[in-house]
Structure 1
């Protein structure tokens, strides 16, 4: 199991007893189909909703465990409208449209289960009236809109190679006057360039990179075995290919992995960090990789570039040479609907290509 999943499962098991019995039943029903991370998000969304119900006097419960089915059953539509307003305008931290849609979708899933699937001892639905069935949850982002937001914020064409090259050499030149930054760069440049190269040549998610072990790597065949997002079979890893460029960068990093980071033999992680004051190297964290990419991106002149946009950069480049189904498989998308982003991102490139053909 991945490090993130292990942590999320622990948090889920801690939070679940603080929920009403019917939420606990719903989570158990969903366990075989959803990852601990997704279920933990559900619990957090229900915490928010139940806290709001009690705060508004729509429940007499003194804590979330005492929320009743009858209180959910007798909610009016204006109560749901009020909760949506609370999320968008009145909460301490205003939520984005994406977050609001996710929170309402989580409620719809719970109410659907209680009214359509779960039964009492007499085979009647646990919830006789489902107010959430009346709530339309609009899709927050269409592929075309997402593509529009990404334009100009990803790496294109030669920039993919240039960014990796910058991590190797250019950044060190830029920070040469800063002894501490220069030393850190000399220590980590092979590792950092390797991570960027791997994402730009395979399209892996940052969580998938973090969870990689040395045993997951088959350098000769340019192959990785990856625990994909949303895959609940913890014994199965998906084979994912990477390009030749990443093969060279991985080989170079592996030379230094053990000696430079004082990595103990028991540490299985592929990518290692040696925190200040520590004697032994350990698995890099997701946050460390995210901050590392942003550090280089800023100096490279692409301040909007993030580790996830490296994935988008690969996907756009890959889609230009392959169809939507191959791109979907390479990226590990659940459906081609998500992959449509890259069809829109490449519209300009394709229109330029047809003009070049017409001129020739």
Structure 2
């Protein structure tokens, strides 16, 4: 099990017993099909919903685990509308439309399971009335809209190489007056440039980069083996190719991984950092990589650039030379629907991409 999944599985195991018995049953039902990370999001959504039911007096339960099936059966449409309003208008941490849509989808999944799949001892549905079946959840982010939001906020053409070069050298010139920042930069510039290079030359997700171990790397064949999102087979790692440029950057970083970061042999992580006050290299965190890319992006003049937008940058560049099916496979998308974004970003129409596939030009 990869690092993040292991952390999320532990949190899931801690939170699930605090849920009503029927939610625990639902989580068990979904466990073979969904990742611990996804199920943890479900449980957090249910925590919030049950907390709201209690606050509104729509249940007599004093704790989330005491909410009953009857409480759910007797909800009215006005209650569901009230909850959506709560999610969109509450003063602290207002949710985006996408987040509200996801939270409502979580509830629909639970209610569907209870009314259509789960049975009591007499073979009747656990939930006799499903209010959530009346709720229409519109698709929020269409590929064309996502592409429009990304325009001008990703790296294009020569900028991909320029950004890696800036991390490797240019940033140092910009901060030469700040000795402390310069020292930290000199320590980490090869590693940081290598991470940016790997994402910009393979399209890996940040979670996939974080979970990489040194022995997942096959430099000769320009491959890394990763746990791909949505694949719950804990024994299988998907081979993902990277471009030639990344091979040189990785080889250079590997010569420093052990010596500069004093990485012990028991540490399997490919990308490591020495935490403050400690002496040995440990696996870099997702947050550290995200913050690192933002730091360089601001100085580079691309303040909107994030680590996930590096993936978008690669994908757009890759799609210009390949069809939508190859791009889907390289990125590890579940369907070409997600990959459509890059058709809109590159102004290549979907029909062009599909024609190339049909005519065998791939």
Q: Which digits, 9 at most, give the CA deviation of each residue in 1:52-73, with x for residues without a partner?
A: 1111111111111111101101
TM-score in terms of structure 1 length: 0.96
- Mapping 1:131-210, distance limit 5 Å: 131-210=131-210
- Is the alpha carbon distance of 1:54 and 1:91 closer, same or farther for their aligned partners in structure 2, counting shifts above 3 Å? farther
* 1:151-210 per-position Cα deviation (integer Å, ceiling 9, x unaligned): 000000000000000011100111111111111111111100000000000000000000
- Give the 3-state SS of the residue equivalent to 1:278 in structure 2: coil
Deviates more, 1:218-227 or 1:179-188: 179-188
Distance 1:194 1:209, change over 3 A: same
CA deviation after TM superposition for structure 1 residue 275, in Å: 1.6
Q: Find the aligned partners of 1:258 and 1:121 in 2 and give their Cα distance.
A: 60
Residues 25 and 200 of structure 1: is their aligned pair in 2 closer, same or farther, counting only changes over 3 Å?
A: same
Instruction: State the number of aligned residues.
Output: 350
TM superposition shift of 1:33: 0.3
Gaps of 5+ in 2: 351-362
Aligned to 2:284: 284
- 1:308-350 CA-partner distances (Å, limit 9, x unpaired): 0000000000001111111001000111111000000001899
Residue segments in structure 1 that go unaligned for 5+ positions in a row: 351-360
Distance 1:286 1:299 in 2: 21
TM-score (norm 2): 0.95
- Quote the Cα distance in structure 2 between the aligned partners of 1:298 and 1:349: 32
| CA distance in structure 1 between the aligned counterparts of 2:185 and 2:92, rounded to whole angstroms | 40
Distance in 1 of aligned mates of 2:115 and 2:94: 31
Q: How far apart, in 2, do the equivalents of 1:323 and 1:292 lie? A: 32
Question: Could you tell me how far apart the structure 1 residues matched to 2:230 and 2:264 are?
Answer: 31
Find the counterpart in structure 2 of residue 48 from structure 1.
48
Between the aligned partners of 2:258 and 2:168, the Cα distance in structure 1 is 19
Give the equivalent residue in structure 2 for 1:96: 96
Q: Quick one: distance in 2 between partners of 1:55 and 1:286?
A: 35
**What secondary structure is seen at the aligned counterpart in 2 of 1:123?**
coil
Q: Which consecutive segments of 4 or more residues in structure 1 shift more than 3 A?
A: none
Match of 2:265 in 1: 265
Q: Which residue of 2 aligns with 1:304?
A: 304
